[in-house]
Each structure stands twice: as structure tokens, then as C-alpha cells.
Structure 1
């Protein structure tokens, strides 16, 4: 089974980013059970199956569940397919390129629920241990509130082997909606996510994408 591996939301130096698997020919694994099993085998936080590359129809899976929408899979797949939009079960995701950044536009309510937990300092976020499986926790603290710079870490809590997500676009959408302002997010070991609220209730989320070799 051929698939691409991308790093999405890379840092300014091109490093880090969250790994994403993309099966360009989704027809090779048409059934949900087959796709779920393959996503579990790959073990990435998300794997995408492309059902129509021209229209941008995609199907997203974690190692344990199917998702109606997810941020870093959409940002990475839009970059890979070079399409103006993606179609996911939650809706139509507009996409664009702007220099080194790949952007998508989505609604925060498309994201799966998670607990936003604010801390008083970056050092507190950095020192957090991985919590036991349970709720999806997005820990954050202001790095520079005036500049909109935030330090975050994401703990899915699913018990499927992904104890911490390196970069999560859906969480960034929810935090942006909560704070109602554009953000420059540093997540995980050194990934970067940019967000910008839009007047129509959508939020843009963008970052660098690199092919993983």
C-alpha cells in the first residue's frame, strides 16, 4: 500500500511538525473497517484516505476513530493535492497557499470536543506530565499576550498509543474561537500554528508542510 508521509505545522526552521499519512488512492481500501485497521497499523495521529483528488474529497482516521474534520490532516492534504477546497464529512473546507504557509478555513464547531486548560506560565505547560487516558486536554499559556503568542500541548487521552499530539489544528481553532483573536501557537517540541478569525464565523488555520523522507 503506497502512502505519503508529511510533517504538518513545521517550525520556522522546517523541523518538527505532526506526522500525517496520506493514501492518495483511497479506492484501494474502500471500507471503513479496512481504513481504520490501516490507520491503526500506521500509528500516526491521523491518516487520510483520498476518495476524489480533483474535488478534494477525503476521509480522516486516527488509530482508533474516524473523524468528521481535523486540522492538520486538512492543512497537509490541501498542500499535497494543491486544491482550492477539501470535502470532509463536517463540510467544505476552503484551502489556499500563501508563500510557505498552507491555509484552510473551517468552523470551530466541526472539531471534536476537548478541554481547554489555561496555565499561568509557559514553564507550567512545559512541565506537564502526560495525563492518564480520559478527556482530550489542550493545555495552554500566554507566551506574549500582546503579540498573540501562545504555548500549547495537546493530550488526546484516547488510549490508542498517541499520548501527546505534536500539533493540532482543531484545538487551535477552538482556542482561537474562545479568545476571539489571531494566534501564533507554539505546540509540542517546536511546531508552529497560525490562526485568524474570519467575519463569517469561520477560522483560518495555517502552517508549513514538508514531505517526510
Structure 2
């Protein structure tokens, strides 16, 4: 397991190319074919999510946190769409549309695919900035309007898990849920300086997009 190569991407980088949520990607999923092996490797890497690519041409991917397998997740899909450059991704939740548009990588998914999140609104961006990390147990997406007319949101994400990840720098699935609730396109500034863009589409689909950078190949 120690010699399995993987890439590290930063997904949802800010306009200056910094920040973003780190994502581990094992391009050759056949090196770790079993779920137990993949779970152990994801736990060893310690990223909020790790992707195993099972078919790069068809975009078949498998997503793990350090402690569990996910049927869908936002930033792993956006990062994989950028890396594989395919028109769609296949995850257990369904088929995810994918496209590249200039500096942004986009996916199209459904809010019901996202795991449950508590979307907690605050009165100002300053209140969100000042929040301490809450006790574990509840996955909280704290948000406030920075400019409601322009659709600009300030957000922070607290997974409430016991795997050492107390705050998630950029969370596509939570942005998907917030967009579904508000019914409008959003420009989200999350964490230390990550940027997530969203846009509702017909028939319940929602686009989620952001910048992706290759941080390392190991």
C-alpha cells in the first residue's frame, strides 16, 4: 500500500489560485480493488475525501472519507472532472454531468444525492468568521449573505466527525444543498479563501463549479 501512487489536487481554489480543499486521487484504482483496502488507504492519507478511478475513459470513480464510502461528494467530483476531462462521471448515486469552461471545472448533480447537512444561517459574514468549531456529532454548514442581491455568500463547514477533520475548507455537496434551498445561483466564499460557484438548472439539476490545481503527484 505504501507504493501506491496518487495525486493531490486542490479543488475550489480562490481567484488567486490559493486555498481549495485537498483531494487525493488514485488514478489506477485496480491497485487497491477492495473496499477495505481503499478505506484503509483513505484513512492513511487523511484527506477529507480520496477518489479511486476505476475507469478513466467512462469516468467511473469511487469516493471515500477517512472513515466511510460515499455515494456522491462535490469536491471529489469537481476535481475528478478536471483531472479526467470526461463529459460525465459515474458514481453510486448516479451519472454526474461534467464540463470544463475556461478556468472552471463544473459538475451537474442533484441535491438529493448529497448527504444530510444542517444549513445554519447567520446574520453577517463577520458572525460566520468568528464561529468556534462546534462539538462533534452534527454536520453544520454555517453561512451568511455577503451581498444578497449579487448572490455572494460567506460559509464555513464543520463536519462534526471524529476523524480529525474539524473544518472542511470547501464543500461542494453542502453548496449544492444551499443552492437547492435558496433556488438561485451563488458565489460562495468558504473556509480560508476558497470559491464555489453554483447555478440551478432545469428539472432539479444543479451545477457546481470551481478552480482545480494539481498540488502534488506522489
TM-score bracket, shorter-length normalisation: over 0.9
**Distance in 1 separating the partners of 2:59 and 2:102:** 21
**How far does the alpha carbon of each residue in 1:72-129 deviate from its partner, in whole angstroms, 9 at most, with x for none?**
0000011001111000000000000111000000000100001000000111100001
Distance in 1 separating the partners of 2:191 and 2:77:
19
Confirm or deny that 1:133 pairs with 2:140. no
Partner SS for 1:200 = helix
Q: Residue 108 of structure 1 is aligned with which of 84, 106, 111?
A: 111
Aligned to 1:71: 74
SS at match of 2:204: coil
Please list every run of at least 4 consecutive aligned residues from structure 1 whose deviation after the TM superposition is greater than 3 angstroms. none
Task: Indicate the residue corresponding to 1:121 in structure 2.
Answer: 124
Residue 187 (1) aligns with residue 190 (2): yes
Distance in 2 between residues matched to 1:149 and 1:92, nearest whole Å: 29
Aligned to 1:92: 95
Offset of 1:204 from its aligned partner? 0.1
Q: Provide the residue aligned with 1:162 in structure 2.
A: 165
In the alignment, which residue of structure 2 is the partner of 1:10? 13
| 3-state SS, counterpart of residue 40 of structure 1 | helix
Query: Mind listing any 5+ residue stretches in structure 1 that lack a counterpart?
Result: none
- Aligned counterparts of 1:202 and 1:94: Cα–Cα separation in 2: 10
CA distance in 2, matches of 1:192, 1:154: 13
Calculate the aligned-residue CA RMSD, in Å.
Answer: 0.5
Q: Secondary structure at the match of 1:186?
A: strand
Matched, 1:42 2:26: no
TM-score (norm 2): 0.97
Instruction: Tell me how far apart the structure 1 counterparts of residues 135 and 52 of structure 2 sit (CA, whole Å).
Output: 30
Q: Paired residue for 1:212? A: 215
Partner of 1:24: 27
**Structure 2: gaps spanning 5 or more residues:** none
How far apart are 1:200 and its partner, in Å? 1.7
Q: 1:167: how far off?
A: 0.1
Cα distance in 2 for residues equivalent to 1:164 and 1:121:
19
Q: Paired residue for 1:55?
A: 58
Deviations 1:139-184 (A, max 9, x none): 0000000000000000011111111000000000000000000000
